[in-house]
């Protein structure tokens, strides 16, 4: 697999400039090309403007922005792209223009340079046929705004090699993108159902069923989104919706562009969003049924045609479109009978062949992947749309996949990591809140006990288990990492035990395994304060064994590099002071403000005191007791009833991100 270091982007418009910005932010060398210098300069100017606005919003520092801009070189000479490892075409949607560009690039680049199209409309295979080596060609379809939106669709052509595809997948990880992979088919995944959804809203308007304001309002509520279809078309451009729908007409009459949509494009006007919102429930149901039915139909067709998986469909909406629930989650909510009825309404209305892929067996989504490469196994928790949060299904899948790897006699090393921005960002908070409110604490106990069983299996494995913390490792995620023999972290990794700040305590072994690894005093510091550690901090106290780069991670996973051995950690003076502070002060003296500083600066001790005082007192006292007594992971199960029946737990779990005052009840 090739490691990408230099990226070429052709087209310095909105999409191309956003891509160049994102790649530069991820420390790639970027060459931004366009046919005239004025376009290149305008593109870099827009990048600079956006980055400096980021300084004002305190997203970036001035030093960071200068570094990002230094990573970008502009050019109007395509020859300058010969140094690139990958070149992404991001020009306007015109097949002939794209074809001419790829013919030119084909004469310039090396045969192993990957060529990618960002097309949202055209066939990847047809474009691949233009170049000499279609084996190194594929689609990388990014979403607006590409510097912020994490979704990318990877579309291999019929001749794309496995190496090219794997390199593209690794590049997406390197560039901070969450990828879904699909077969080459017009509209790919997201546009295939999103654009007909837009088109159907215009049909409802054209048929005078309702006004724009009502249609938008119904859609916002039915799909849990912040903007309705007409507002979205205004934001992204009405002609974009028209041209995207036009390319889908190859699938039959149902996909024909609404006459009213074409008229709006011809008028060169945006939609008028003003109007009275109807509260007529029968009317609102007609709109909701039509809009849901269209999405359900098209998603079922995607599954029929094996364009992608149910997970890809769902992830595309969650990440790319920012829907609160993806289409597959929505169909599972409505159930097979209701979905069938809604789909039948659409197939009858437009004389469409009913899809086959309607039913629970087609809506299964798996989020834990197992890949075996000779003597190593890689387990990836792959639910980036929810930061890989642990729930009952994820823990069950982790159990199943780890057992397969653990039982395989050919495997000697098992890697565990996460996809996207997180390793695992804790447990799914909604699960706890739902069960507390319905007085099903036993379900929380059962989930936690099962989680402990799975984690113990990982901890007790005779194989070498290596956790690679790629991003956020919070609560249960850090507890999972602590089950590994070796913990590696990428430079951007962050980890914490936030539980006592949300009314609970670590229940999957965190109070025990953290103390074994870094000692009771530092374990108390982490758990009582909820301190967020960056990778360097975690390495300094021995919570993490080694910090590795993404390139080293890929080498490790491919078997080209041995698992690094960490040296002994010598605590800095700062960490020694923290350690001594918690060794010499009980939780009661800390909470009563009767602590002794023992060499620590009084202002630092005061900060720790104030932080701990903001935590839930019941949770703090239980966590302290568990760490002090060190009776094993099972001891954490003893106090679950006490903690989850407390008012503090419900308050904290229901107020994530807010500052609350705990009563200790």
* pLDDT tens by residue, 144-190: 999 999 999 999 999 999 999 999 999 999 999 999 999 999 999 99
Per-residue pLDDT, averaged over 230-240, amounts to: 94
Whether residue 22 is predicted with pLDDT greater than 80 in this model: the reply is yes
Q: Which of 194, 205, 138 is nearest to 171 (CA)?
A: 138
Q: Which of 194, 197, 239, 193 is nearest to 218 (CA)?
A: 197
Identify the CATH class of 6-181. Answer: alpha beta
Whether residue 248 is predicted with pLDDT greater than 90 in this model: the reply is yes
Whether residue 290 is predicted with pLDDT greater than 90 in this model: the reply is yes
Q: How far is CA 581 from CA 501, 516, 589, 591, 609, in A?
A: 21, 18, 11, 13, 11
pLDDT, position 261: 98
391, 428 in Cβ contact below 8 A?
yes
pLDDT digits (tens, 9 = 90+) for 601-655: 999 999 999 999 999 999 999 999 999 999 999 999 999 999 999 999 999 999 9
Q: Where are the domains of the chain?
A: 6-181, 190-362, 368-653
Q: Does domain 190-362 sit in CATH 1.10.1040.50? A: yes
Q: Which of 414, 416, 424, 415 is nearest to 384 (CA)?
A: 424
Q: How far is CA 585 from CA 279, 295, 602, in A?
A: 62, 60, 14
Average model confidence (pLDDT) across the chain: 96
Share of the chain above pLDDT 90, in %: 96
Query: 368-373 and 376-381 as β-strands: parallel, antiparallel, unpaired?
Result: antiparallel
| Local confidence band at 569 (pLDDT 50, 70, 90 cut-offs) | confident
Handedness of CA 199, 201, 202, 203 (dihedral sign): positive
* Higher-confidence position of 516 and 599: 516
612, 604 in Cβ contact below 8 A?
no
Whether residue 659 is predicted with pLDDT greater than 90 in this model: the reply is no
pLDDT, position 150: 97
Whether residue 509 is predicted with pLDDT greater than 80 in this model: the reply is yes
Pick the catalytic residue from 62, 479, 603, 661: 479
pLDDT, position 243: 92
> Per the structure block, which two tokens stand in for 543?
């919570």
> Per the structure block, which two tokens stand in for 581?
């502070």
pLDDT digits (tens, 9 = 90+) for 527-551: 999 999 999 999 999 999 999 999 9
pLDDT digits (tens, 9 = 90+) for 360-409: 999 999 999 999 999 999 999 999 999 999 999 999 999 999 999 999 99
479 is catalytic: yes
**Of the CATH numbers 3.90.226.10, 3.60.20.10, 3.40.50.10070, 3.30.950.10, which one belongs to the domain with range 368-653?**
3.90.226.10
499 is catalytic: yes
Share of the chain above pLDDT 70, in %: 100
pLDDT, position 236: 87
Distance, in Å, from the CA atom of 566 to the CA atom of 20, rounded to the nearest integer, reads 37
């Amino acid at each position: 697999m090739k490691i990408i270091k230099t990226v070429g982007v052709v087209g310095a418009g909105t999409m191309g400039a956003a891509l160049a910005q994102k790649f530069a932010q991820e420390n790639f060398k970027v060459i931004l090309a366009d046919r005239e210098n004025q376009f290149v300069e305008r593109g870099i100017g827009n990048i600079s403007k956006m980055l400096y606005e980021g300084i004002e919003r305190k997203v970036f520092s001035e030093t960071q922005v200068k570094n990002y801009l230094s990573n970008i070189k502009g050019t109007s000479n395509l020859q300058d792209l010969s140094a690139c490892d990958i070149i992404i075409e991001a020009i306007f949607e015109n097949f002939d223009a794209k074809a001419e560009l790829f013919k030119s690039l084909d004469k310039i680049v090396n045969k192993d340079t990957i060529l990618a199209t960002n097309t949202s409309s055209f066939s990847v295979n047809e474009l691949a046929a233009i170049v000499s080596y279609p084996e190194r060609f594929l689609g990388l379809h990014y979403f607006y705004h590409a510097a912020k939106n994490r979704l990318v669709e990877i579309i291999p052509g019929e001749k794309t090699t496995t190496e090219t595809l794997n390199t593209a997948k690794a590049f997406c990880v390197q560039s901070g993108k969450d990828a879904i992979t699909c077969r080459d088919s017009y509209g790919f995944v997201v546009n295939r159902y999103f654009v007909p959804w837009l088109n159907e809203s215009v049909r409802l308007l054209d048929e005078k069923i309702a006004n724009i304001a009502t249609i938008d309002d119904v859609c916002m509520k039915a799909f849990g989104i912040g903007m309705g279809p007409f507002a979205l078309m205004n934001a992204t451009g009405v002609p974009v919706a028209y041209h995207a729908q036009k390319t889908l007409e190859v699938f039959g009459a149902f996909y024909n562009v609404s006459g009213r949509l074409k008229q709006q494009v011809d008028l060169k006007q945006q939609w008028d969003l003003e109007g009275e919102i109807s509260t007529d429930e029968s009317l609102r149901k007609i709109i909701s049924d039509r809009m849901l039915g269209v999405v359900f139909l098209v998603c079922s067709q995607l599954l029929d045609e094996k364009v992608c998986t149910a997970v890809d469909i769902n992830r595309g909406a969650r990440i790319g479109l920012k829907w609160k629930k993806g289409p597959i989650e929505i169909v599972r909510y409505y159930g097979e009978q209701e979905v069938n009825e809604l789909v039948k309404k659409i197939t009858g209305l437009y004389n469409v062949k009913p899809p086959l892929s309607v039913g629970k067996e087609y809506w299964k989504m798996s989020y834990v992947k197992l890949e075996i490469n000779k003597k190593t196994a890689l387990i990836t928790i792959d639910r980036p749309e929810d930061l890989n949060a642990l729930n009952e299904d994820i823990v069950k899948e982790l159990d199943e996949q780890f057992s397969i790897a653990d039982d395989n006699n050919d495997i000697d090393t098992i890697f565990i990591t996460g996809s996207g921005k997180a390793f695992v960002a804790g447990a799914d908070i909604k699960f706890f809140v739902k069960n507390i409110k319905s007085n099903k604490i036993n379900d929380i106990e059962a989930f936690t006990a099962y989680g402990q069983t799975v984690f113990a299996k990982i901890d007790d494995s005779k194989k070498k288990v290596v956790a690679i913390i790629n991003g956020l490792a919070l609560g249960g995620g850090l507890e999972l990492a602590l089950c590994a023999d070796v913990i590696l972290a990428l430079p951007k990794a962050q980890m914490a035990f936030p539980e006592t700040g949300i009314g609970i305590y670590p229940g999957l072994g965190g109070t025990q395994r953290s103390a074994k690894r870094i000692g009771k005093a530092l374990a108390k510091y982490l758990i009582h304060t909820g301190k967020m550690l960056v990778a360097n901090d975690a390495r300094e106290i021995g919570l993490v064994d080694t910090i590795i780069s993404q390139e080293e991670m890929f080498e490790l996973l491919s078997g080209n590099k041995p698992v690094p051995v960490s040296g002994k950690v010598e605590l800095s003076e700062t960490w020694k002071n923290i350690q001594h502070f918690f060794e010499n002060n009980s939780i009661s003296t800390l909470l009563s403000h009767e602590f002794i500083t023992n060499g620590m600066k009084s202002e630092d001790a005061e900060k720790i005191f104030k932080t701990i005082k903001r935590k839930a007192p019941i949770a703090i006292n239980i966590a302290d007791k568990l760490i002090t007594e060190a009776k094993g992971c099972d001891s954490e199960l003893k106090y679950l009833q006490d903690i989850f029946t407390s008012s503090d737990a419900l308050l904290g779990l229901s107020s994530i991100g807010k500052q609350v005052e705990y009563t200790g009840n």
